[in-house]
Amino acid sequence: MTIYYVNSATGSNTNAGTSADAPIASFWAVENLKLQPGDSVLLAAGTVYNDQLDLKYSGTVAAPITIGSYGVGDAPVITSPNDGIHSLYASNIVIENIKISDTGGAAIYGGYVSNWTIRNVEVDHTGLSKSGSITFRTGSNLTIENSTINDVNGDGIWVEKFNGVTLLNSTVTNAHGTTADAVQINDSSNIVISGNYLDQTGAITPKGVLALIRPADAVVEGNTLIGGGFGITAQAGTNVAIHDNDISGYGGYSWSYAIGLGDQGDTRNYEIAGNYIHDGAWGVAVSAAGTTTYVREGIEIYGNLFDDLTQAALKVDRPASGSFHDNFIASDVTPYSISPSIIAAGTFPVSDNTIVEEGPTTFASADSLAAADASVSLGAHHDNPIWENGISDETLLLRHFGKAAVEKHGSTFGNGDHGVTIEADDLAGPENGSEISHHEITPQPLHHSEADPLIVSILQHGMLH
């Protein structure tokens, strides 16, 4: 396990490179090293490399090959007329603590590889002559974490035919192009996308934010997605969970949606829960561009909050089975748009949703709301699923007020009814005239749930409103 030091400013390719005092100078010398498992290639802080780095050798799972940095100062920068880092068939690789910018092609390209980790990498202004940023085709076990991608041409992250894709705590902003998404993952499985900030509001003619095409066993949770023609398109998937995301600012097309599914193939077993969907067009759309017959089954949509939408919270215009229940819908949002034939078939019941009658500051941040001598009492039956993934453990309803009010005040759970009391200054002052009420918005016919509805009341100065 050897550490090789590279310094484009002070190094020489006649050096062995095994000491920071005698580094090698260029990627040409690195590519001739015949790297072994456990070896590290460290680029000096503050240096620039105007060439493509080709990785030809593999590490092992226990001893990967690492490309990183050393010294104090700005991250070393790779800039290239081609790709920044390019690899075919090399596996067990770690790329960390570097910057890649102004490349003609992709920042990082990997084909037929496995067990790659990209962490704390900054990508900026890539794909100048051939669209690309971080691109992987065919392989397994790719992790991208704590990295930033900005102002690139083409998709920010593009992955195809991978088993095992993990994207954690990273930021992708402004992936430009009519076919560009912040993240697109095709024909892949065992996908986890969590804790990321994906923003397309400054992109030039973007397509969308997150595109999952034919995913299998995917979890998308705790992300912020802004802008684009859509928030999440998750087409033709199997076993897909979309939980606790904040999706907003999407639009530009009559079909624009926060979460869309049902096109491009059979769709089975989706759980869409705990998301805050706002400032866009459609909420959740189960739809398709044509008339091709696909299976759309097991689509459960619950515990979400819909606000400031120009179209309905739910759209179902193709044959589908599932349910839409225990969601929170602002009073100025149309609850659903479901084809009459689907309503008649009773395959997609709508029940037990809560209409939020909002005043002028109901959805403002907690810091901007007037304090009041009041409290809000939220109660629900123990088997109401909203408490499993909505208010109780994910604090959906109040998360957008700027405080996790349920966490702040605590809650009691048992085998019977349970609830939580929240001070009204966590919500809105009485002068706003705001209230939250439960309304049945069920299409007929339906199979109505017998579970007790969520009871939401406002208690002020000892009086129930």
Helix (H) / strand (E) element for 306: namely strand 305-309
Q: Strand pairing of 354-357 and 435-438?
A: antiparallel
Are residues 262 and 288 in contact, defined by beta-carbon separation less than 8 angstroms?
yes
Pair of tokens at residue 278: 């706002």
Is the predicted pLDDT of residue 392 greater than 60, yes or no?
no
Residue 125 binned pLDDT confidence (cut-offs 50, 70, 90): very high
Average pLDDT over the chain reads 83
What's the rounded Cα separation, in Å, for the pair 9 and 25? 7
Q: In whole angstroms, how far apart are CA 138 and each of 151, 219, 324, 362, 422?
A: 26, 20, 36, 48, 50
Q: pLDDT by residue (tens digit) across 283-332?
A: 999 999 877 789 999 999 999 999 999 999 999 999 999 999 999 999 99
Residue 436 binned pLDDT confidence (cut-offs 50, 70, 90): very low
3-state helix, strand, coil in the chain (%, to 5): 10, 45, 45
Is the predicted pLDDT of residue 456 greater than 80, yes or no?
no
User: What's the pLDDT score for residue 418?
Assistant: 33
CA 74-198-282 angle, to 5 degrees, is 170
Identify whether 349 is preceded by a cis peptide bond (ω within 30 of 0): no
Contacts for 324 with CB less than 8 Å, ≥ 6 apart: 284, 301, 302, 314, 336, 348, 349, 350, 351, 353
Q: pLDDT by residue (tens digit) across 59-102?
A: 999 999 999 999 999 999 999 999 999 999 999 999 999 999 99
Q: In this structure, what DSSP letter does residue 19 have? A: B
Is the predicted pLDDT of residue 249 greater than 70, yes or no?
yes
Is the predicted pLDDT of residue 17 greater than 50, yes or no?
yes
CA 73-79-80 angle, to 5 degrees, is 160
In this prediction the pTM is: 0.81
What's the rounded Cα separation, in Å, for the pair 135 and 155? 9
